[in-house]
């Protein structure tokens, strides 16, 4: 797996233009969009998505859900 980072801005039409990449035609890629100037409510969601999942790592949860 290879990571390529590109920073771009959304234009007036809501589109993002990425630079030309040195990849072969047909190469599968995954694009993840990180919103840097997000409104406060979106920042909360972004923060929650990046938080730890250790809450779910407990014996009680394991006993209940592993047997469902």
Query: pLDDT tens digit string along 10-27?
Result: 999 999 998 888 899 999
pTM to 2 decimals? 0.42
pLDDT at 27: 92
Cα gap 14→52, rounded to integer Å: 32
Assess whether pLDDT exceeds 90 at residue 56: no
Are 46 and 38 contacting, i.e. CB atoms less than 8 angstroms apart?
Answer: yes
């Amino acid at each position: 797996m290879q990571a390529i980072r590109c920073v771009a801005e959304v234009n007036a039409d809501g589109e993002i233009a990425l630079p030309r990449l040195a990849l072969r035609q047909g190469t599968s890629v995954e694009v993840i969009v990180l919103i840097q100037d997000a409104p406060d409510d979106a920042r909360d969601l972004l923060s929650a998505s990046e938080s730890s999942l250790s809450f779910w790592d407990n014996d009680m949860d394991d006993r209940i859900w592993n047997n469902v």
